[in-house]
Chain A
């Protein structure tokens, strides 16, 4: 469980840290931008046999994400939970391997961007065009694949080294 928590914490801080070094904005999306926290939550999910423990981590992370990064309330808790449900659904079709982890991460990111885009447009927080959404999604794919692959191998290595099969 500590490995999973550390992965999520590091990814959470990476979100803030890398936002300062890679120039990007809504106008100019960067190929180095992804949401590292979501990728980490997706990659560590298969190591949890006990969903309750995973959900604790997910909710705490989502609350912090809401408060620290987006200045919102509940929004990311709902979005992260929907991503969790999506991944549980994908469990039926996708065994745990590198390719599937990448597909899950990309799908989760797409769902996150589409839902946040839709909610913010519906409640008139902002009005953005679909072309912006597509631009952001396409720009996020490369870094999502890179980070998922790195995190997949690191977590797999650590879980095998410490002979942990699943978190109970």
Chain B
């Protein structure tokens, strides 16, 4: 009869594993940091270039500004007939209205598709998803004609009113998927306690859908903040310009472009997006991980 003594080997094995794990973790992190630096390099170069004198913008690939200057920020902020504070205000206003509109309207539409029974529900759902297949450019001209007839050109209405009408099919879809995972028993319990649809929506669905709402808010924020074509078409007067239009006004392929101030203002215009992203990051990951959009 042979006796086995496996016990002493375990810690040895475990130790080797943990050392291996350690090495692996270091290697993995090192690789990720290298990749991150490669990805971030253009962004960091832009930040560096925003502190270089204007005519030295393209002279170096290094990140560190040799002749440090803040002129680009001063010149950029005051360029043109209006300052960037005006453009930032306009952008913020449109972005906030869009976020509020999208979150409310898409949540309501999603609740209907996820919980209510009504005629042609599947057909309408298919039509809604169908609108996602249409490229933006297909609807561009009809939309412009419509808003022109309504005399909404040179107002922020074409950029904000549609958001209150649940026109972003992607976010409706996202929230429908999310709400379908919420147990119906909660609705039933609320109904027993006397809640109607409004009550169920407000007291049960909304609080549980925070991750999906957060994702919607974040994506709407980024999309609206970065949108250029929409403001370009509908906001022609300089006093209505958004930040993206302000940035475009530094560039001209047929004359003189001012890159230093452009990079300075581009750096500043990133701040709200990055800030909003950090604030909503946790919700974003939860929202995507739990709504089946893996």
- The answer on A and B forming one complex is no
- Residues of chain B at the chain A interface (Cβ within 8 Å): none
- Residues of chain A at the chain B interface (Cβ within 8 Å): none
